[in-house]
Each structure stands twice: as structure tokens, then as C-alpha cells.
Amino acid sequence: QVQLTESGGGLVRAGDSLRLSCTASGGAWNPYAMGWFRQSGGKVREFLGGISWNGGSTLYGDSVKGRITISRDKVKNEQYLRMDDLKPEDTAVYYCAASLTPDSYQYDLWGQGTQVTVSA
């Protein structure tokens, strides 16, 4: 059973940059796409962006566009999120997800999440 594991979260200061990693392990890995989401407090889980696994094309959510970069390493089976100019409102649990269905961005495999806390 393939699992997704996020890493790189923690406490950072406003204005800093952050790089999160997501590693797929436990089996063969060839998703259609991977993505990043976040959730804080009682809010709805927010889509940050995604990347097509084979082609590498990216799509970013409007709320963070211009501050994030998503990339992947097909050899390592890893996805990355870089976020710049962090703000206290970026504090959230960040989740990695994958779409295992061809030609679909319906994310059906999720990591456990990693907490990111941004101090003012």
C-alpha cells in the first residue's frame, strides 16, 4: 500500500521561506497528478496547487499564486512545495495528495499532514 509522508513543517518566522517535501513509499508510483492543500482552524481544506506527474505542468490556487512553487522528482518519488514571504495567516496543517486516476485531478490518496506555524 503506497503512503504519502510530508516533511519540512515547523515553526518559521513571517517573511521566511519554507520547503515541504512529500514522499511516496510502499509500492510502484505513477500518479496522474499530485497536489498540496492546507487546513487551519475550522476552515475548509484549501487547494494550494498541483503538478502533473509526467508532464510537470503546474496549477496554483489564487490565494497563494506568486508565492509558491511546486515541483517533483520522479526518481525519488517526491513532490515539493516552496512558499515564500510567509505570513501568520499561512499557519495551517499542510497536506500532500495524489490523484491515482488517469486524466483526473480528483485527489484520492492523502498524507497525514505537517503543521506549519508562522510567527509574526
Percent of the chain whose pLDDT exceeds 90: 91
Of 6, 19, 7, give the one whose Cα is nearest residue 86: 19
Query: Cell for 75?
Result: 526518481
In tens, the pLDDT along 97-106 reads: 999 988 888 9
β strands within the chain, DSSP E: 3-7, 10-13, 18-25, 33-39, 46-52, 58-60, 68-73, 78-83, 92-99, 109-110, 114-119
Do residues 81 and 48 touch, judged by C-beta distance below 8 A? Answer: yes
In tens, the pLDDT along 57-103 reads: 999 999 998 999 999 999 999 999 999 999 999 999 999 999 998 88
In tens, the pLDDT along 14-52 reads: 999 999 999 999 999 999 999 999 999 889 999 999 999
**Amino acid letter, 84:** D
